[in-house]
Each structure stands twice: as structure tokens, then as C-alpha cells.
Amino acid sequence: MFHTILIANRGEIALRIIRACREMGIRSVIVYSDADRDSLPVRLADESICIGPGPSSKSYLHVPNILSAAMLSHAEAIHPGYGFLSENMSFSEICADMGIAFIGPPAHAMAIMGDKVSARAAMKQAGLPMLPGTPVVRTLSAGLEAMKEIGFPLMLKAVAGGGGRGIRLVQRPEDFERTFLLAQNEAREAFRDDGIYFERYLARARHIEIQILVDHFGHGVHLGERNCSCQRRNQKVLEEAPSPLLSPELRNEIGTKAVKAVQAVGYRNAGTLEFLVDEQNRYYFMEMNTRLQVEHPVTEQVTHLDLVKEQIRIAAGLPLQLQQQDIQFHGHVIECRITAEDAEADFRPQTGTVTQYIPPGGPGVRVDSYLYTGYEVPPHYDSLLAKLIVWGDTREEAIAKAKRALNEFIIEGLPTTIPFLQRLLAHPGFVAGETYTRFIQEEAIALGLEKIARAV
């Protein structure tokens, strides 16, 4: 087992990894930017090293500074968390060359599964069903040709995308050119890669993802599904497990196929395969996230497993101690992402000082956050402030617990999405379990999102 792990991330996920390390008797080292000097992870890690100014390009994405910190602290492994360098194949390769364990998949598997087009090809060969799609498109003329093949409506997706960016829905041919150029510009700005691919749009689809673990001996298991259908601008706002409309038989079928598919490409460590499921429960592979997900606590609470510890054990070369029959699912879990955003202003990001912070508690309530009273939320990073995760024996109990916990949650000093999440949990469609990927857009008026409703 590792003696020292360097955490190349910030915020709640950095704190989550620090806590797992401490429970495992592993020394934790956190790298931080000037903007995060007073953050809770910096206070709680065993060692902290400043790697640059606030902008992520000069700190959390600055590979030489991170590797220098790893060498100075004698770290044997680096945990990248999610975002930043977590799906950077070059960073993974450099770590391997330096003899530092990268807590994630090997570079060759990341190369296949981290690129959405190559992932689709590999998973199709491994037997997973797909929606009709195209190769990478980089010019408008090629896009116009590909458009004729797929038909309408269709989705444009950035090849190197993540976090909902570089994704656009095109309903009509006359909207294609403008939308293509918008998606390409967004992809170029966000990922320095303007590659786009097209995929047939599936109306009223549910977004279902399967969590898998595979060790270095090729043994793998799936940990069930998460329903991530509540989204705005293709970004998740609420996740739950199990999915209200997925049968145990279908869960096992998708999960078993997902494990076999990633084993076929030599995947190792934790990962998530994302699927679209239609109203007839036909499922289609969409993409894979080759890292820990923001919503991993949903799976942790429903399986009673610690995914971060499992990641660390796998990276250290230890075999999984789990067989598929050992995985049991307990009750129902809901995670609400609380962000520094003004939902009524089209979820515009906010910054400011937290003048009061009081998280909820009680049985079955977990809060993953890095906030404290007096903390100044910086402008450089993602707007996620906290994750509220609740567990109940039934979905009805979990919804009631989430409502109660949100009502107790106090974050003052800047707008948050707590009021919006309270309305979402009370919506009859959500209560009935009838959500789909465009649910929030189409129910915008009922959810108090007038600006989004006008755009729709």
C-alpha cells in the first residue's frame, strides 16, 4: 500500500480523498492555487504545496508544478479526482514514466475510452448497442454531409467533451449551420479540440450510468446504475439510485455487458459507462467517464462501499475482494448538487463570501462540501459548493428526507440552487419517477425557470 498520495485537485473531492487516505493510514499531500490558500482541504491535509496562481491553467492544469510537488513530497501515487487532469492521457503516461502510480485507468485504456468516437467503436465491437452516429467532423462541409446521413433531430457532441459543454441539439435543417459553429467554438474554447461527432437524438430518454470496478488482474464488477436524467444544459443537477423505471433484470443485463466491454479493452480502476434508455427500455451506449464521478456517493450509499478506497487499492496492485454476487443494493439514494448559481437567471455562476454555513444532519443524511462560514468562493473554478446525499428505505422516504434536509441547509452570502432543488423534488413528474434528459427544460415554468422557458 502507498505511504503518501498527492491529490491533484481542490474543493469537495480533494477533501473526500483526504478523508479516505486518513482512514487507510496514508499520508495525504494537497497541491493548491493561491486562490485556495484558505480552503478546508489545505487545512486538513498532512502537507500542502502551492503550485501557482488562481487560474487553473497556471495551477491545477500545470503538469510540471504538480509533478515537482509529487517529487518534493515523495508521493508514490497521484489521485486526480474528477475534472482537471483526471482524464488527461499524457499526464497518466508521464506519471508512469516517473514511477508514480496514477490512480485511474492506464493510458492505453484512457486513449480508447476517453475519446468518444473511439469509445463508441470499441464498445460497438464489444457488443454494446449504439444509436446511429458519425466519425469525427471538423469542417462545416463535412458536417452538412454527415447531417444527411443521421437525419433530424440530432445531437452534436464534442469529441473531447465533458461537463455538458460542446453539446447541442439540432431540431431542424435550417438551424444546423449556426448550431454546428456554436458547438465547435465551444469545444475549441473548452477543450482545445474542435472535433464534433453527431448522434441520433432520442426523445424523452433517461440518462442511466453504470459504475464499474476492474482490478489489475482483469477481474471486474458493476455496482448498479445511477439515474442522472435531471439535467440543465446537459449538466446533471440530481442523481438517484436505483432508477425508478429499471427492473433488476435489466440492471443486471446492462451491468454485466458493461463489465465485459471494458475488460475487452484492458480497462483498470473505476469508471462509468453512460447509456440512454428509451421508453421501451431499449438502451444505447453513449460514452464512458474514465474517472471518479461527481455523483459517486450515490453508489457508495446504496452499496455501502467506499469507491475512493477501492480506487486506491486497485492502483496499489491489490485484487478486488468483491465478487458480483457480493454486491447488494440497500434502499434508495438521492444526491442534490448545490451550486453557486442563480437558477432564475439561467443558472448564472456566482461568487462571494459565505456569511453563514450550517449543513443539515440526521439519520441518512450526508453532506460532501468544503465550505465554512467566512470562506470566499473564488471565480476561477466550477460552481459546485456541496453535495447533499440522502438515504431512505424507499424512494418516497428518500424524497421526504431530501426535502427536509434542503429546508435545513443554510448557505448565506451568495445565491445557490437550493430553492430550485426544492421545487424539483416537489414536482409531480419527479415524484412519479418520470424524468428524462429534457425534463427541466420542458417543465421550466413549473420549476420557476422563466428565462429557460422563454429560450425553449
Cβ neighbours of residue 97 closer than 8 Å, sequence gap 6 or more: none
Cell (9 digits) for 429? 413528474
Pairing of β 332-339 and β 235-241: antiparallel
Task: Indicate the angle between helix axes 116-125 and 248-264, nearest 10 degrees.
Answer: 110
The runs of H, that is alpha helices, within 206-334 are: 248-264, 296-303, 307-315
Please report, for residues 270, 289, 290, 313, 401, the alpha-carbon distance to residue 319 in angstroms, rounded to integers and kept in the order given.
13, 22, 19, 8, 37
In angstroms and rounded to an integer, the radius of gyration of the C-alpha atoms of the chain is 21
Give how far Cα 352 sits from Cα of 152, 339, 341, 385, 415, Å.
Answer: 43, 13, 11, 12, 9
Burial class (CB in 10 A: 0-12, 13-18, 19+), 64: exposed
Under 8 Å between Cβ of 48 and 32: yes
Q: Is 366 a catalytic residue?
A: no
Determine which one of 10, 291, 313, 438 is catalytic: 291
Q: Is 395 exposed, middle or buried (0-12, 13-18, 19+ CB in 10 A)?
A: middle
Instruction: Tell me which residues are annotated as active site.
Output: 291
